[in-house]
Amino acid sequence: MVQCEMCGAETSSPTTITVEGAELEVCDDCTDFGTTVRTDDTESTSTKYSTSTGGSSGSSAGGGSSGGSSGGPTPGSDMYDDVDELATDYNERIREAREAAELSQSDLAEQLNLKASLIRKLEHGDTLPSDDVQRQLERALDISLSGGAGETDTEWESDDAGDGLTLGDMVKRRD
C-alpha cells in the first residue's frame, strides 16, 4: 500500500497527477486536483526516481546537480565579501593621479575614449564609475580605486565610550 501524497490516505493503485508543475502520487479521490499523467502499479513506483536519460525529469535532475557544485558562496558567507568596494575618496585619487601625469581632463578623456564631462563628474564625485571605466582609469593612471581589504566598516563602530544607555533607556512609552 502506498500513501497518497495529497491527503495521506492509503491506496493500492496510486495515480500520478501534475499539480502546478509537481508530480504527485495520489489516491482516486484526489485525482480531480490535478492533471493525470499516468497510472502506476505498486511495483513501478520506483521508476519515478529512475536514472534513465530518456525522461525529461532525469535530464533536468542531472543538470541541476551539476550546477549546484559550481563554486557558489559557502553557507554563512556573504555574497558581497568578494566584491571590491569603490574607495570613498575615488574622486581625489583620480584627480591627483591625472594631475601627476600632467594630463588635462580632456586629454585623459581622449586617451580613454571617454567624454571629458564624465571625467569632470568623476573628479567632482557626482557620479560613480562603471566597472569598465574604473578598470580603464586604474590602468591608465596606475592607481587603485578599490577600497581594498584594509578598510573596515566604520559605520558600526563608535568612538564614544557611551553611557551604557540603550534606546529603551531613552524612549518614554505611552501606555
Give the CATH number of the domain where residue 118 resides.
1.10.260.40
Contact between 25 and 3 under an 8 Å Cβ cutoff? The reply is no
Residue 4, domain member (yes or no): yes
168 versus 162: the higher-pLDDT residue is 168
Predicted confidence at residue 6, as pLDDT, reads 87
Contact between 148 and 82 under an 8 Å Cβ cutoff? The reply is no
Residue 83, domain member (yes or no): no
- The 10 Å Cβ neighbour count of residue 80 is 8
Residue 72 has pLDDT above 90, yes or no: no
Predicted confidence at residue 63, as pLDDT, reads 44
Average pLDDT for the chain: 76
**Nearest Cα residue to 26 out of 1, 9, 51:** 9
Rounded Cα–Cα distance for residues 125 and 111 (Å): 21
Number of C-alpha atoms within 13 angstroms, CB side, residue 97? 19
Residue 160, domain member (yes or no): no
pLDDT in tens, 73-106: 566 666 666 667 888 899 999 999 999 999 999 9
Residue 151 has pLDDT above 90, yes or no: no
Contact between 87 and 146 under an 8 Å Cβ cutoff? The reply is yes
pLDDT in tens, 104-141: 999 999 999 999 999 999 999 999 999 899 999 999 99
Residue 114, domain member (yes or no): yes
Helical (H) or strand (E) element with 15: strand 15-19
**Nearest Cα residue to 124 out of 101, 102, 105, 139:** 105
Q: Of 26-40, 72-86, 160-174, which gets the smallest average pLDDT?
A: 72-86
Residue 159, domain member (yes or no): no
Residue 106, domain member (yes or no): yes
- The 10 Å Cβ neighbour count of residue 70 is 6
The parent domain of residue 128 ranges over 90-141
Residue 168, domain member (yes or no): no
Residue 121, domain member (yes or no): yes
* Residue 171 binned pLDDT confidence (cut-offs 50, 70, 90): confident
Q: How many domains does the chain have?
A: 2
